[in-house]
Structure 1
Amino acid sequence: MDAIHLQDLSFYAFHGVHDEEARLGQRFVVDLSCWLDLGPASRSDVYAQTLCYASLTRAVEAVVTRSRFHLIERLAGAIAEAVFELDPRIERIAVKVHKPGAPLPIAAGHVSVEINRTRSRDETP
């Protein structure tokens, strides 16, 4: 299966369990992979036969910056849902959300969550 990857998409948002996270916000970094058949685009060089990278980026940005979630697990799930809605050709998605400023009891390190979703046959038009 072919894939399109977007990496290191960085956004400032207000997700987290703690009140300070909701008030102050922090940076979140998203990696997104979408699996679909890119054969037609690879043979034709026709733009309409691939996914628009800008549209994918805007879909991720809308979820990250216009909603508030306590858990980055839910944030990743919401991103996957929005991307599936964007284009019915997408068969599988991996979303990784990095939270570099997560409150950890040590001086260095960061947290990330990765989810993988496959479109169910019932969802395909």
Structure 2
Amino acid sequence: MDKIKLSRMQFFGNHGVFAEENKLGQRFYVDVELAVPLDKPGLSDHIDDTINYAHVFFKVKEIVEGRTYKLIEALAENIASELLGTYTSIHEVTVRVIKPHPPFPVVFDGVTVEINRKRAN
């Protein structure tokens, strides 16, 4: 299946288990891979035959910045569900949510949650 990938989209959100995370917020990165047939737009060169990735960006932004989640797992699930519900041409979606600076007293390069969801037939 063909794919459209939006990589390292950056948003500011208030997600986390700790009250400080919900109050202060932090930066999150989101990657989205959309499995969608691209033969028609490849031949037509017309925006209406594909998924407008600018619209996808703003849909994800609305989800990440619009409400607070305790778990980035729930955030990823909501993104996947909304994209599958909004764009009927998507057969499968992979969502990665990266929390680059979790509030732990250890040093590592962030936490990533990755989920993959398929359209129910």
For Structure 1 versus Structure 2, the TM-score category normalised by the shorter chain is over 0.9
| Letter of the 1:71 counterpart | L
Q: Offset at 1:101?
A: 1.3
Distance 1:109 1:8 in 2: 15
| Letter of the 1:110 counterpart | G
* 1:56 alignment partner, SS class: helix
Structure-to-structure mapping, 1:1-125, within 5 angstroms: 1-121=1-121
Q: Which runs of 5+ in 2 are unaligned?
A: none
Q: Offset at 1:59?
A: 0.7
Distance 2:94 2:26 in 1: 23
| Letter of the 2:45 counterpart | D
- Tell me the TM-score normalized by structure 1: 0.94
* 1:109 alignment partner, SS class: coil
- Tell me the TM-score normalized by structure 2: 0.97
| Letter of the 1:95 counterpart | V
| Letter of the 1:56 counterpart | V
Could you list the structure 1 runs, at least 4 aligned residues long, displaced by more than 4 angstroms after superposition: none
Query: Deviations along 1:9-60, whole A, 9 cap, x unmatched?
Result: 0001100000000110000000000001111011111111110011100110
Q: Offset at 1:105?
A: 3.0
Q: Offset at 1:103?
A: 1.8
Q: Which runs of 5+ in 1 are unaligned?
A: none
